[in-house]
Structure 1
Amino acid sequence: MRAVALRGRVVGILAILVTVVVFLVPFAFIFVTAAKTAPEANQLAFSLPTEWALWDNVVAVLTTRDGIVLRAFINSTVITVAAVTLKVLFAAMVGYVLQRRQSRWNAIINFFVLAGLIIPPAVVPTIWILQGLGLFKTIPGLILIEATFGLSFGILLVRAFVAGIPRELDEAAVIDGAGPIRLFFQVVLPLLRPVLITIIVVQSVAVFNEFQNALYFLPGAQNATVQLTLYNFSSQELSQYNLLFMDILLITIPPLVMFIFFNRQIVAGMTSGAIKG
């Protein structure tokens, strides 16, 4: 028993050390570089700054190009909130229907759901469709793109979670006179809270940090998102590493805060869906 306990303790210590090296060391490098002056930051040395310029770099980043970083934060927040809201709503409805109602169409729908996880998105046809709808280079267009690309992940989680909800609850609500809409929104949806929190947090971080979709489907300085602002501080002629790393630090803070506060809910939602599925 002592050998087993000692082995478990050693494994735990090694896991902590690996976590520190993989996650905390890069974050520390970003922070100290963001706090340096331009000449010192350009050396890319992992050392404390001789002159702290943390606040000056924050002001410089936020005021660059008439405050493009602030506009980018607003755009990314709007896109994230709208896209994740659509994802959660449709994932909950589709996942519930797929689990509760068996029909000949289920196999076809499941194929397309899995295809959404496996097949990469086609950029050119998507741009062509957006142009036809008049949504190319618009925030609503990117919202629809983001809501669609992450939908399969949410559907699978919700479907696995709904499998653990007794059908008797649905039947009791129907006997009490609840229609399909009232049954879903007043009875089923509150029970999906753990898995929906998981989807909200994971997909919010994914959408907020999305770079490729914003680059392809939302070009233009007025439509900039936070990830695209990194171009402002790095080019072939000049690299302002202190401002670049400060921008990275500011972009990292919102997702980091979400994971810190909702870490337990994420794990609970993922494991509940896995066990009940």
Structure 2
Amino acid sequence: MALAVSTIVFLVPFAFIVLTASKTSADASRFEFSWPGDFVLLQNIAEVFKVRDFVIVRAFINSTTLTVSSVAVMVVLAAMMGYVVQRRTGLFTSAARMLVLAALIVPSAVVPTIWVLQALGLYKQMLGMILIEVTGGLPFCVLLCSAFVATIPRELDEAAALDGAGPLRVFFRVILPLLKPVVVTMVVVQSVAVFNDFTGPLYFLPGEENATVQATLFNFQSQTLSQWNLLFADILLITVPPLVLYLFFNRQIVEGMVNGAVKG
């Protein structure tokens, strides 16, 4: 029953997107769940690419740069922080754990964040947006890594230390390879989150040269005209990369979540 409900909830909207993206402008404006009279999906996609001098190509480059950079920094920092928080005891690690939990609860403030970015000279800059994405996703990743590290026996750390390995070598040579399932989980989940982020780039990375894929949705809506067929074709293009990523790594996502929950 749950599988059937999930199928309806996710596949029906996706089918509606594909069908609407395949229609002419007049047919798409009716918002009917029906087979298109003229199947013009490829023509609509080609038209989407031509809008505003191929802005969607630049948007895909910006979104890919933002996603890859943010997730790479996020995963490395989360793995190291999760390892320290789980293995060490003391006032510092307790405070760090509380800060991580607070970061999950306390909502972000847009205007003060803009002031900080302006003071640092990072407003409307890709580096500033990367820092925002890393800050937003890091708490969840730290908790996930910390729970997974709890399943790794401490004897491995001690054996490596007895062989003369320092803390960094223990982490990179012993612990990090064992974190592969949770690393894949973090990469996929956070890649989808960053790639699909709409409000973050809207507030902190304005400007046509900084356009991300989500911002391109504005291209096909105005007060006088809404090109629904092109809008849904754009949505289809934006949906495909995260969907493909999930289809290839869904087993690893589940494995990382379940293994991290055994002791976490």
Deviations 1:235-273 (A, max 9, x none): 221100000000000000000011111111000000100
TM-score normalised by structure 1 residue count: 0.94
Q: Quick check: 1:223 aligned with 2:210?
A: yes
User: Given the alignment of the two structures, is residue 126 of structure 1 paired with residue 113 of structure 2, yes or no?
Assistant: yes
Please give the alpha-carbon distance, in whole angstroms, between the structure 2 residues aligned to 1:267 and 1:105: 32
Structure 1 unaligned regions, length at least 5: 1-13
**TM-superposed deviation, 1:110:** 1.3
TM-score, length-scaled by structure 2: 0.98
Aligned to 2:178: 191
* Deviation string, structure 1 residues 39-84 (Cα, Å, up to 9, x no partner): 1111111111111111110110011000111110110000000000
Distance in 1 between residues matched to 2:99 and 2:110, nearest whole Å: 18
Distance 2:47 2:149 in 1: 49
CA distance in 2, matches of 1:17, 1:235: 37
**In the aligned structure 2, how far is the partner of 1:123 from the partner of 1:113?**
20
Report 1:1-277 matches (<5 A).
14-277=1-264
Q: CA RMSD in A?
A: 0.8
For the residues of structure 1 that align with 2:210 and 2:53, how far apart are their CA atoms?
14
> How many residues matched?
264
Contact 2:84 2:93 in 1 (8 A): no
Deviations 1:214-243 (CA, angstroms, capped at 9, x unpaired): 100000111000001000011221100000
| Counterpart-to-counterpart distance in 1, 2:253 and 2:163 | 34
Paired letter, 1:135: L
Q: Which residue of structure 2 lines up, in the alignment, with residue 3 of structure 1?
A: none
Structure 2 gaps, min length 5:
none
Amino acid at match of 1:181: L
Whether the 8 Å contact between 2:45 and 2:233 is mirrored in structure 1 is: yes
1:137-172 Cα deviation digits (max 9, x unpaired): 011110111011100000001001101111111111
